[in-house]
Amino acid sequence: MDKTMTKELVLSALRMAYKRQKPGKGVVHHSDRGVQYASLEYQALLKKYDMVGSMSRKGNCYDNACIESFHGILKRELVYQTKYITREDAKKSLFEYIEFFYNSKRIHSTLDYHTPNEFEQMNGNPGA
């Protein structure tokens, strides 16, 4: 998280996610058409990690419906309920919500009423 979404920020996020999850070859990485994701460096890192890049179609909001749904939940359940004093307070709060509640305790109907962590463990994700 940062004040602006720079190429360096998304490269760092991809490195961190790859190190943490250790996905298998051929995992599809979907993003919007932002210049950060289209950069040569980002595309090269996807290739290095044997990931398949996927980008939303121009002007098609439905391609990102899944992440937009998550953002809506995040805002309703946390952000709109909280007054942040500093950016660091917000970062800590968001991290704790995602890691300690959303991924480990909040069940999801689309995951057959399992948490995301349970779903990954049941489906053999080594990073889970």
Segment 11-54, tens digit of pLDDT: 999 999 999 988 989 999 999 889 999 999 999 999 999 999 99
pLDDT tens digits along 50-93: 999 999 988 787 888 888 899 999 999 999 999 999 999 999 99
Question: Which two tokens mark 59?
Answer: 């002007």
Q: Where does the pLDDT of residue 119 fall: very low under 50, low under 70, confident under 90, or very high at 90 and above? A: very high
Rounded Cα distance between 120 and 103, Å, is 10
Which residue has better confidence, 65 or 97? Answer: 97
Q: What is the DSSP letter of 12?
A: H
Which segments of the chain are extended strands (E)? 28-31, 52-55
User: What is the structure's pLDDT at 64?
Assistant: 85
User: What is the structure's pLDDT at 128?
Assistant: 46
Spatial CA neighbour of 49 closest among 6, 20, 92? 20
User: What is the structure's pLDDT at 125?
Assistant: 64
The pTM is what? Answer: 0.79
Question: Which two tokens mark 80?
Answer: 């709109």
Q: What percent of the chain has pLDDT over 70?
A: 97
Spatial CA neighbour of 56 closest among 38, 28, 33? 33
Which segments of 72-118 are extended strands (E)? none
